[in-house]
Structure 1
Amino acid sequence: MKTLPILFVLLSGCLALTGQNILLFPKESVTDHVILKPAVGQALKQLTVCVRSYSDLQRLHSLFSLATPGKYNNFLFNLLPPKLCKVFINEEEFSFEVDPDVLDWKQTCVAWDSETGLLQLWINAKRYPRRITTSRSPIGPQMSVILGQDQDSFGGGFEASQCFVGEMSDVNMWDYILDTDTISNSYLSVSGNIFSWTNGAKEIKGGVMALEN
């Protein structure tokens, strides 16, 4: 009986989580998402984000969305099965043709350097052809970071047709470019320095559930 209030919060409300959990996004909606709170004190000149996800969706879906006031696609990546990944940097769109999906956990990492414009995408430790962005503007420091939805306004503007449905884990953020060796061989053992899945603050919204590994 003592577990009922905790279960109710998990199912219906907003909860700050710590530890290594799997987040389950159970259904298509405009309410289910998770807010991350990275420790950012100044605009980011470099950024690496890694996410593990597991889904059988066959439509476009958003994994990670970073928005700033007045600019909503600052750092966003979507998957479009079976073989497309879309990345947005400061509103500029890039499409990557990637290996066809298999129904398994997928590790997606995106890294960007504002000084050079170099954009890099890895999926399951494979790096795809690098691109150069036009924008050289650092990102932030005021930002809204959302898992599972695509922000079309600062902290909102969600569309059910773009939401993520499935499981997500091991989301980490670094304010530098993670080297290829680390991403290829030891990403899961390296915590992000501005957001760590192990102890970073997360807020659950809607019906997203936190599960044990």
Structure 2
Amino acid sequence: KITFPAPRSVSNYARLGTTLAQDLSSFTLCLQMRTDMSSTSHAGVVSYAVQENHNELLILNKGRGISELFVQGGKGADLGALPVWDGEWHAVCATWRSTDGAWQVYTDGVLQASGSGLKVGGKVRSGGTWILAQDQETVGGGFDPNQAFSGELSQVNLWDRVLTPAEVGPDSCGQHGNVIDWATTNIEVFG
């Protein structure tokens, strides 16, 4: 696990030593998180940026107790209030597919929200930069202190397909993503 201490700061983040070798037309992103932050805090949890778009793939708490999923920027999917702001460990999984823009978000294996129409026909483009605990406004940087995350993150895994509800059960974060595998990915921690 990686700890991003409070008070939150643009100096505290981690960069994954990997990128996307190919564009993704579907994905499942899973992670484990623990935070003492308020659900009304604005905080980037996982951010993937390419030259064309700094919100290529982003999970962000927007404040007001609402989290959002962004794919290729634009308007994000409103994930509602995720029950993860209680200081305990939680598993979070987000899925998306290009064909109809269908998306889902699970916490601890339970479906919290779903929808469709998010970036229909789009792709998560290759060659970008993965940052944990900040929201990139430029590739690899442009952090805002009011969008920093404090707490702990672990088991960040990415698949190139939509996992089934059974696969994103409570034990999903012990699995190994076929695009990003937390167990074998080099991670550079700053701060």
CA shift at 1:184, angstroms? 1.2
- What amino acid sits opposite 2:31 in the alignment? V
Counterpart of 2:24 (choices 26, 44, 47) is 44
TM-score (ref. length: structure 1): 0.80
CA distance in 1, matches of 2:90, 2:63: 12
Structure 1 residue 178 and structure 2 residue 163: aligned? Answer: yes
Greater relative CO (CA pairs within 8 A, separation 6+): 1
Question: What residue in structure 2 maps to residue 167 of structure 1?
Answer: 152
Q: Which has the higher helix share?
A: 1
Structure 1 residue 104 and structure 2 residue 88: aligned? Answer: yes
TM-score (ref. length: structure 2): 0.89
Task: Pick the structure with greater CA Rg.
Answer: 1
Q: 1:39 and 1:154, CA in 2 relative to 1: closer, same or farther beyond 3 A?
A: closer
CA shift at 1:80, angstroms? 5.1
Contact 1:126-1:184 at 8 Å conserved across structures: yes
Bigger CA drift: 109-118 or 128-137?
128-137
Question: What residue in structure 1 maps to residue 2 of structure 2?
Answer: 23
CA shift at 1:193, angstroms? 1.0
* Alpha-carbon RMSD: 1.8
CA distance in 2, matches of 1:87, 1:64: 10
CA distance in 2, matches of 1:140, 1:175: 12
Counterpart of 1:119 (choices 103, 107, 131) is 103
Question: What residue in structure 1 maps to residue 45 of structure 2?
Answer: 63
Contact 1:90-1:135 at 8 Å conserved across structures: no
Q: Secondary structure at 2:171's aligned position in 1?
A: helix
Question: What residue in structure 1 maps to residue 68 of structure 2?
Answer: 86
Q: Deviations over 1:103-150 (max 9, x none)?
A: 211211111111221111111211123212144221111111110000
Q: Which runs of 5+ in 1 are unaligned?
A: 1-21, 208-213
Q: Which runs of 5+ in 2 are unaligned?
A: none
Contact 2:19-2:128 at 8 Å conserved across structures: no
Q: 1:40 and 1:180, CA in 2 relative to 1: closer, same or farther beyond 3 A?
A: same
